[in-house]
Structure 1
Amino acid sequence: MLLRALAILTSLAVIAGCATPTRYVDPAADDGPVAMTMDYRDFEKAATDAVEDMLASGAVDNPDGGRYIMVVSRITNDTMQRIDTDQLTKKIRVALLRSGKVVTTTAVGLDGAEDEMAMKARELRDSEEFDQSGVQGRGTLQAPDLSLSGKILQRNHRVGKEQQVEYYIQLSLTDLASGLAIWEGETPIIKRGSNKAVSW
């Protein structure tokens, strides 16, 4: 019995010793294997392409000066993966904010406010427990000028003895005053690899 226990412990030690060690990955210099699924590099590329094209097109240049206010509408995930589309939109929002041309409102959204505190803070009006000089007044929230919407598509194909997975990140920027799309873009991400690789 003792010999068997020692053999099991020895086997576990060998397996643990052979396991690949955990390590940090530098996103700016990641030359690791490419997954057939979408990974952070794909979202980075799609967001960078979109923002660079928006800025180059002049779509976010406000002729009245100042910055446009953008709201994030629905980004539909039409892939076989469970994708949090915030991975894409957050990168776009950060880059547009840093450009000095666009700010994003978090006080309104299709499913309610992203940050509910904007409205909660206004519920403090007329409360005797709060100094009213610091409470937000009426008519101070800013309505959005622009809306960002889009879709992420996935198409799988057999290419000889391999599979090809195509992702299309499609985005539209709509002027809410006119309802017209003032910018549209599509970033294709095409991957080809083993038929055994999982793409969902």
Structure 2
Amino acid sequence: MNKFWNLTVAGIGMLGLAGCGSGPERFDPRDNPARLRAMGALAAADYQEAAAVAINALMGSPVFNRYLQEYQADHGGRKPLMMLSTVRNSTDNEHIDTRFMTERISEDLLNGDKVRLTSAFAGSGQDVDDANIMIRQQDVNEYADKKTTIGRDSLEVPLLGLSGNIITQTDQVGRDRNYSIFFVLTMTDYRTGEVVWKHTQELGRRDTQSWFGF
């Protein structure tokens, strides 16, 4: 009886140890283990990979570089002002945040001295700095120094916009399942509606379901 009791207590203790979690710790999002990349989810490393591939394609695009050269030639060397437009989430995963990708791409474009970036205009789901409007409303503030106020017609309207779409497709044969995530990005000149760059990248998942369907 004592032996049985000891084994039971030992077994419960082992289960308790196995069920214990660990405290939060730092990790490198570029080194995300495959086990954290669920079939229908996007990890931080996925956004970083998609953004890195997209920015390399954009920087090396003959069509986009020719557009920039022609624009600067017509505007005294001035670079076009770009806004982050809407990136639609056309997947079944409502938790996908497209800003992870667009923020990285716009950062690289700005720091790569390719475009100017506005924070006053943006598409749905992107960030806008409301202070751009608030500052221009201070001309009626009796406490504001009128020598420092900014005219209400001084905001430059962007002529270039980065938009996109995230699409998924699932293919299954027997227990084998492929899950593809497509990142579609488009750069548009709003003066004419002309697309000056377009890029599609696919990230894939593959797994084999168990006989129980999990």
TM-score in terms of structure 1 length: 0.82
Is residue 82 of structure 2 the alignment partner of residue 80 of structure 1? no
Q: 1:16 to 1:158 in 2, by over 3 A?
A: closer
Measure, in 1, the Cα distance between the counterparts of 2:19 and 2:127.
Answer: 49
Which structure 1 residue ranges, 5 or more long, are not aligned? 1-6
Measure, in 1, the Cα distance between the counterparts of 2:84 and 2:195.
Answer: 14
Q: 1:183 to 1:166 in 2, by over 3 A?
A: same
Q: 1:26 to 1:184 in 2, by over 3 A?
A: same
Question: The residue matched to 1:90 in structure 2 has which SS?
Answer: helix
Is residue 38 of structure 2 the alignment partner of residue 35 of structure 1? yes
- Count matched residues: 188
Measure, in 2, the Cα distance between the counterparts of 1:173 and 1:105.
Answer: 15
Q: Deviations over 1:110-146 (max 9, x none)?
A: 4598111101111100322011122123432111121
* Aligned-residue offset at 1:148: 1.1
Give the counterpart letter for 1:50 in structure 2: A
TM-score in terms of structure 2 length: 0.77
Which structure 2 residue ranges, 5 or more long, are not aligned? 1-8
Greater Rg over alpha carbons, structure: 2
2:53 is matched with 49
Is residue 39 of structure 2 the alignment partner of residue 26 of structure 1? no
Give the counterpart letter for 1:76 in structure 2: R
Contact 2:30–2:48, Cα closer than 8 Å, also in 1 = no
Measure, in 1, the Cα distance between the counterparts of 2:32 and 2:204.
Answer: 18
Is residue 147 of structure 2 the alignment partner of residue 133 of structure 1? yes
Contact 2:188–2:195, Cα closer than 8 Å, also in 1 = yes
Q: Deviations over 1:81-135 (max 9, x none)?
A: 1211111111111111111112221212345981111011111003220111221
Once structures 1 and 2 are overlaid, which stretch shifts more, 147-156 or 13-22?
A: 13-22
* Aligned-residue offset at 1:166: 0.5
RMSD (Å) for aligned C-alpha atoms: 2.6
Once structures 1 and 2 are overlaid, which stretch shifts more, 47-56 or 19-28?
A: 19-28
Measure, in 2, the Cα distance between the counterparts of 1:133 and 1:194.
Answer: 68
Question: The residue matched to 1:133 in structure 2 has which SS?
Answer: coil
Measure, in 1, the Cα distance between the counterparts of 2:30 and 2:44.
Answer: 11
* Aligned-residue offset at 1:40: 1.2
Once structures 1 and 2 are overlaid, which stretch shifts more, 34-43 or 75-84?
A: 34-43
Q: 1:16 to 1:67 in 2, by over 3 A?
A: farther
Contact 2:30–2:45, Cα closer than 8 Å, also in 1 = no
2:111 is matched with 98
* Aligned-residue offset at 1:195: 2.9
Once structures 1 and 2 are overlaid, which stretch shifts more, 38-47 or 178-187?
A: 38-47
Contact 2:137–2:152, Cα closer than 8 Å, also in 1 = no
Is residue 70 of structure 2 the alignment partner of residue 68 of structure 1? no
2:6 is matched with none
